[in-house]
Chains A and B, each alone.
Chain A
Amino acid sequence: MEPSENIQVDFDLAAELAPFVIGGSAYACFQCGACVAECPTAAHVEGFSPRKVVLQILLGDRESFESEDALVWKCSSCFTCLERCPQGVRPGELIAAVRNWLVKKALVPKQLADIYNAVRKEGRTVPRSSAIDRRRKELGLPVVPDAPVDELKSLLPQLDRGKKEKK
């Protein structure tokens, strides 16, 4: 085998991700692919596979993750892979850890930053609207109370996105 064909492993990536991992472990993965069979995103997005994400973590393949439109953002978080994995790897939770790590590098899709900041500023992901207020009235529902925003602001730091704005 030519030296250029050797696989380069960057062990530092898994160590960098470790503080973000709440559940699951990439090291237990033996690449069986049980997680792929029923993955809805794998069925719809070419190139996406939870098995591959775990392999990329193990190999330290940073390049495959480090962008706002990386495949790792396509996972719909249905958690089917958590049910299928015979090893307790919990690929869906490792994907959440990779995403948290990317956010710390200011690589966060606008949709996510908007939701986080909406919760921080208004306490809810959906803004109030006069149209919905009218519907609530028509249905005889009470006014939605204000959320305790002061508490949330002290718990949650402001999230800023990197300069790489996408349209």
Chain B
Amino acid sequence: MIRKAFFLGCMIPLKYPQIEAAVRLTMPRLDVELVDLEGFTCCPDPIFFKSVDQFAWLTVAARNLTVAESAGLDIATACSGCTTTLAEALHLLKTRPDLVKEVNSRLASIGRSFAGATNVRHLATILRDEVGLDRITAAVKTKIDGVKVAVHYGCHLLKPSEVAMVDDPDFPELQEKLVAAVGAEPVRYPHALKCCGKGCIDRTVPAAMAVEIVESAKAGGADALCLVCPSCFDSFELVQATGKVKKEKQLPVLSYFQLLGLAMGFSGEQLGFQFHRVPVPPGLGSVRGKR
């Protein structure tokens, strides 16, 4: 049994709970126990919050790490943003004694202290490294062979690479392997590694970045986009729901955990497809999408 502290973050539980549902349905079947601890907050967000005050960002991240330390557990996340914040904070605090001193002097005011006794991994990485691809394949009950899936990596699962330590940031294979393990066919397309635009503060640019990726994946022959980051999920759902991608070029957006759930035999309703703005077609085991 693999036992981890489940770090939910903000976007998954409070905006896209269907991703949480998929995680909670699928992980027990792979003998991954996710423990809900009391006391976690926003990671905090690695772009906007960090842009306000990096030391406050580091302090709040360190506070979250101490919650897992107290429970004696490593952290599992389902969000690339949470992963990069917590992993980068851990990396900085393990390599910079000056920062540990600064952070612990701040944490002292709430009776906490960072010791470095935890680790942080995205569940996608845990699936590859701790669960194993064979075990995923063995858990497949419903054939979804022939479904062509365009994998979108998102930025912070892989970068900064010396912090993430997940895969080659230029030639990653992690998500293709995970997709192939459930019997779907990963599709390569030119924009697979581009930024979804979520982090850019501008009125038009984020949508333009997301549109390029959706259209590139569609042109690559994909039936769906598949990703492991709720921010990317948000970008692609929103940009399509607001009509910036023509109907015939639209692609349903799936979290990898939903794809895994489908392959394990869970229904589209259990996996929350009814909440998707871009309808997931019946071929992918779906109920009709609604707003």
Residues of A within 8 A of B (CB): 20, 22-23, 40-41, 44-45, 73-80, 82-83, 96-97, 99-100, 103, 108-109, 111-113, 115-116, 119, 123-129, 132, 135-136, 139-142, 144-145, 147-148, 151-152, 154-156, 159
Residues 163 to 219 of chain B near chain A (Cβ within 8 Å): 169-170, 194-195, 197-202, 205-206, 208-209
Bound Cα distance A74, B260 (Å):
35
Question: Are A139 and B272 closer than 8 Å at their CB atoms?
Answer: yes
Question: Are B41 and A119 closer than 8 Å at their CB atoms?
Answer: yes
Bound Cα distance A142, B199 (Å):
30
Question: Are B17 and A112 closer than 8 Å at their CB atoms?
Answer: no
Bound Cα distance A152, B275 (Å):
32
Bound Cα distance A73, B202 (Å):
8
Question: Are A139 and B51 closer than 8 Å at their CB atoms?
Answer: no
Binds A, one of B52-60, B122-130, B249-257, B277-285: B52-60
Which residue in chain B gives the minimum CB-CB distance to A147? B41
Bound Cα distance A127, B21 (Å):
19
Whole-angstrom distance from the CB of A159 to the nearest CB of chain B?
6
Complex A-B, nearest 4 residue pairs according to Cβ-Cβ distance, in ascending order? A76-B199, A76-B200, A126-B14, A78-B195
Please name all residues of chain B whose beta carbon is closer than 8 Å to the beta carbon of A126 when the two chains form the complex.
Answer: 10-11, 14-15
Apart from the given pairs A124-B42, A126-B10, 20 other A-B contacts in the complex at a CB distance below 8 Å:
A22-B99, A23-B92, A74-B202, A76-B47, A76-B206, A77-B155, A78-B155, A79-B159, A96-B54, A100-B51, A103-B51, A111-B201, A112-B51, A116-B48, A124-B10, A124-B14, A135-B17, A139-B272, A144-B13, A155-B60
Please name all residues of chain B whose beta carbon is closer than 8 Å to the beta carbon of A155 when the two chains form the complex.
Answer: 56, 59-60, 63, 106-107, 109-110
Please name all residues of chain A whose beta carbon is closer than 8 Å to the beta carbon of B44 when the two chains form the complex.
Answer: 119, 125
Please name all residues of chain A whose beta carbon is closer than 8 Å to the beta carbon of B24 when the two chains form the complex.
Answer: 141
Question: Are B53 and A79 closer than 8 Å at their CB atoms?
Answer: no
Query: Among B48, B92, B99, which residue has its beta carbon within 8 angstroms of that of A115?
Result: B48
Question: Are B14 and A115 closer than 8 Å at their CB atoms?
Answer: no
The answer to whether A141 and B10 touch (CB under 8 A), given A45-B202, A73-B201, A155-B110, is: no
Query: Among B39, B42, B194, which residue has its beta carbon within 8 angstroms of that of A40?
Result: B194
The answer to whether A116 and B52 touch (CB under 8 A), given A44-B209, A78-B155, is: yes
